[in-house]
Amino acid sequence: MFIPYWTKELDLKMGQSQSDEDEEVKLADIQPLYALYMKVCPSGALHLHEFRKIFGVRSTSEDESLFMETIFKSFDTNRDDVIDFMEFVAAVHLVLRGNLEDRLRWSFKVYDRDENGKLDREEVKHIIKIICQIRRKANNMTPKEICDRIFDLLDENKDGQISLSEFMEGAQKDAWIMDQLKLDINARGWFNENWGKKT
């Protein structure tokens, strides 16, 4: 699970708890981010429609809407249907500063729609299809063909499912796989453009 904690540089890590050696964040470190958060969601709670705006997804297609809802839920760690400021900081950190392992774990969580810790072909094909729609660029392979190739390359034990370890290792070994598995939703561009002006 993606659990935020604070250090001086907003250096958040996934799945770790706060240690006694961590320093508290000074007010000056979080003021610019808080100002942005309140600009985007003056109510103090980021809702799904505001979240879609942040990520630049304006399509009303059912698949894209479901995809954005899945991503939204991946950041809503307490499952209260809003993203509070702490969850927002965790999302910003993942988008701007998260290392490759953090991003891959998050991507796996988004793909894993039934949250059983394994990806089946339908889950992968569903997300690949939506990513192809969002990217809106010509691809010489269908989502099914992309999915089949991903399984050929990642499903090492050929059990018809991709585990987290197979996902992590395979994505880091193959540039094509990494490109296909990326959740290309332009969040980095939005945060750099909007948050960068505040810091």
- Evaluate whether residue 4 is within a structural domain: no
Instruction: Please report, for the domain that includes residue 102, its CATH number.
Output: 1.10.238.10
For 34-61, what is each residue's pLDDT tens digit? 887 888 788 889 999 888 777 666 666 7
Task: Answer yes or no: is pLDDT of 25 > 60.
Answer: no
> Alpha-carbon distance 113 to 123, whole Å?
7
Q: What is the domain extent for residue 151?
A: 27-195
Contact 195, 33 (CB under 8 A): yes
- Evaluate whether residue 60 is within a structural domain: yes
- Evaluate whether residue 140 is within a structural domain: yes
Contact 150, 177 (CB under 8 A): yes
- Evaluate whether residue 61 is within a structural domain: yes
| Average pLDDT over every residue of 11-27 | 37
Total domains in the chain come to 1
Contact 55, 63 (CB under 8 A): no
- Evaluate whether residue 3 is within a structural domain: no
- Evaluate whether residue 5 is within a structural domain: no
What is the pTM for the complete model shown? 0.71
- Evaluate whether residue 52 is within a structural domain: yes
